[in-house]
Chain A
Amino acid sequence: MKRKVAGQVVINEEIAPDIYSMWIETDLAMDAKAGQFVGVFPANQSTLLPRPISICEIDKSRSQLRLVYRVVGKGTGELSHFKPGRRVMLLGVLGNGYPLDKAEGKHAVLMAGGIGVPPILQLAKDLSGRDSAPIAKDVTIIVGYRDCNTFLKEELEQYGRVIIATDDGSVGTHGNVIDAMKENGIQPEIIYACGPMPMLRAIKTYSEEAAIDAYISLEERMACGVGACLGCVCKTKDIDKHSHVNNARICTDGPVFEAKEVMI
């Protein structure tokens, strides 16, 4: 059941320039799955809309969610100053999440770039079976960063082999995640991805040519987060169930889509 609730900030710290990691105690944690997101409300009433932020980690035993977010404007700027103990209003849990069962017995390759990296952490944890029975046969994580600020790298390494690509070549492969995959001879049997649109387009093309299932998480400007306003649509191959016009709602039909289903 979706709801708007008050959570409490546990930790909120900068882990790379402009990248913050916030643990929030909230009962939404009990319903959350990898690849879903929450709407976080700034307290300043001039910025009204919830900020859609992906869930980086779920700790059901402590009833906590971890959000790792980039400060991009006034809303996230305000969030970055939230101190431990502070109340924070959340709308959640939103979106569909990654289909974990598709990776059963397969070599799953998780590809992410920039602020798309955080949701891959919980996914890697689930697929590798760190907290439960393993789902995937193998997990390889290929992550792209702008530069040497490879946030979450050490944490990802607990759940699978991690390969790095950077835009400036300072760490790992000089190039994108597809370059890094090829350079390291990685042969995915299923791909899960989150990141900037050019990366997702490249993954869509690659997965279609190689006939591999790929699930990609999309992002768009949104208002309601619950499927009512029709702000955050994405063109789809088939007609969508809401308006029958090949426009899926990223907030509710997604954010995770099968790559071949979306026209990006």
Chain B
Amino acid sequence: MANTAINIAGVEFKNPVMTASGTFGSGMEYGEFVDLSNLGAVVTKGVANVAWPGNPTPRVAEVYGGMLNAIGLQNPGVDVFIERDIPFLKQFDTKIIVNVCGKSVEDYLEVVEKLSETEVDMLEINISCPNVKEGAIAFGQCADSVFDITKKIKNVSKKPIIMKLSPNVTDITEIAIAAEAAGSDALSMINTITGMKIDINRRTFALANKTGGMSGPAIKPIAVRMVYQCANKVKIPIIGMGGISCAEDAIEFMMAGATAVACGAMNFVNPYLTQEVVTGIEDYLRRNKIDDIHEIIGCVK
């Protein structure tokens, strides 16, 4: 069988298939559908220093070829997460990547310091959530602030870090370059694209938060383009995501330059998706007589 193992910042993943933060909880819910040990990594829902209640409902709305969400990063806080979710995930033969969110630099640093003392493999730093008023995307939309927060997190983190980038910027490559320059070990892209839906019967916004992050197959071409642009500007590995609904989509991202991929909103449509993407990539490699997955990473120039 072809080699599907990949390495990001010294962490060895058995395959390049991960879960996109916020679509997979901490794996408990989808553990009923897929064997988490077959995945490269589980990337968890965002975790803050304290519990966050999230936004009012409605928090989700369907749009053509995708959905909007404005969950607002509801989470139990890092202490509950360390006590409950990490031991759960440690039962499986998969890597653990924890998504970290915060309203201030201090919030992020507190979570990063606490998670540094645990058995998780990497930290994904969420500076791109469009649905919370303070923090999150505010850090991710300007190259200087991305450089600054990346540097500060890198100084305290004992785990490799992945900065998760927002597509809601003029030039995502500037952000990617800033994150790399500040020492980020890898990049995740893309977070959701800010959107809006009006409920014409209620004559108001479909989401209580008015705007939400758009995900799903409709955003995939934008995500592939951004991965391609950034892969040509930075040397650090990229985890590509945005509307992946099958192995062919995942392979597109890898050919555009992503070392790994994450399945997001389409888990809601196909709860077996992650497993099917793993198998589908293996099939593609076999059919095309490719011995090593690295042959397709960034093969499109």
A contact set with B: CB distance below 8 Å? 1-4, 41, 45-50, 75, 91, 220-234, 242-247, 252
Q: CA separation between A220 and B62, bound complex, in Å?
A: 13
Contacts of A234 in B (CB 8 A): 57
Q: Which of B30, B58, B64, B217 contacts A228 (CB 8 A)?
A: B30
Q: Residue B195 at the A interface, CB < 8 A?
A: no
A201 to B80, CA, bound (A): 33
Chain B positions within 8 Å of A243 at CB level: 51-54, 74-76
**Which of these binds chain A: B108-116, B221-229, B265-273?**
B265-273
- Cβ contact of B23, chosen from A1, A47, A228, A245, cutoff 8 A: A228
Contacts of B269 in A (CB 8 A): 41, 48-50
Tell which of B65-73, B151-159, B178-186, B281-289 binds the partner.
B65-73
Whether B60 contacts A223 by the Cβ 8 Å rule is yes
A177 to B65, CA, bound (A): 40
Q: Give A259 to B255 CA distance when docked, in angstroms.
A: 53
Q: A3-B33, A245-B76, A247-B53 are in contact. Are A226 and B65 (CB under 8 A)?
A: no
What residues of chain B lie closer than 8 Å to A50, measured between beta carbons? 268-269
* One of A75, A223, A225, A245 near B69 (C-beta < 8 A): A223
How far is it, in angstroms, between the C-alpha of A223 and the C-alpha of B53 when the chains are bound? 18
A231 contacts which of B24, B28, B52, B69 (Cβ < 8 Å)?
B69
Q: How distant is B198 from chain A, measured CB to nearest CB, in Å?
A: 14
Query: Which of A1, A220, A227 interacts with B25 by CB under 8 Å?
Result: A227
Complex partner residue of B29 from A3, A49, A224, CB under 8 angstroms: A224
Chain A residues with CB under 8 Å of B62's CB are 47-49, 75
B272 touches A4 (CB 8 A): yes
For the complex, is B22 an interface residue (Cβ under 8 Å from A)?
Answer: yes
> Which residues of B line the A interface, CB within 8 A?
22-25, 28-30, 32-33, 45, 51-54, 57-62, 64-67, 69, 71, 74-77, 80, 216-217, 265-272
CA distance A231 to B52 in the complex (A): 14
Contact status B65-A223, CB under 8 Å = no
Given A247-B54, A247-B74, is A48 in contact with B66 using a C-beta cutoff of 8 Å?
yes
**Neighbouring B residues of A223 by C-beta, 8 Å:** 60, 67, 69, 265, 268
How far, in Å, is A2 (CB) from chain B's closest CB? 5
**Other-chain residue from B53, B61, B66, B267 in contact with A224 (beta carbon distance below 8 A):** B267
Sampled A-B contacts (30; CB under 8 Å): A2-B33, A4-B272, A45-B217, A48-B65, A48-B67, A48-B265, A49-B67, A49-B268, A49-B269, A75-B62, A220-B57, A223-B67, A223-B69, A223-B265, A224-B23, A226-B30, A226-B32, A227-B28, A228-B268, A229-B22, A230-B54, A231-B57, A231-B71, A232-B57, A232-B59, A232-B60, A233-B74, A243-B53, A243-B54, A243-B75
Per a CB cutoff under 8 Å, which of B53, B71, B217, B272 touches A246?
A: B53
CA A2 to CA B33, docked complex, whole Å? 7
Instruction: Report B99 CB to chain A, min CB distance, Å.
Output: 13
Chain B residues near A224: list those with CB within 8 A: 23, 29, 267-268
Q: Is the CB of A245 within 8 A of B53?
A: yes
Instruction: Tell which of B51, B76, B270, B271 has the most Cβ of chain A within 10 Å.
Output: B271
Known contacts A2-B32, A245-B52; A221 and B57 CB within 8 A of each other: yes
Q: Within the complex, what minimum Cβ distance (angstroms) separates B23 from chain A?
A: 6
Contacts of B272 in A (CB 8 A): 4
* Beta-carbon contact of A244 and B51 below 8 Å: yes
Contacting pair A4 B270 (CB below 8 A) = yes
Q: Is the CB of A228 within 8 A of B57?
A: no
Rounded to whole angstroms, the CA-CA distance of A41 and B57 in the bound complex is 23
Complex Cα–Cα for A3 and B272 (A): 9
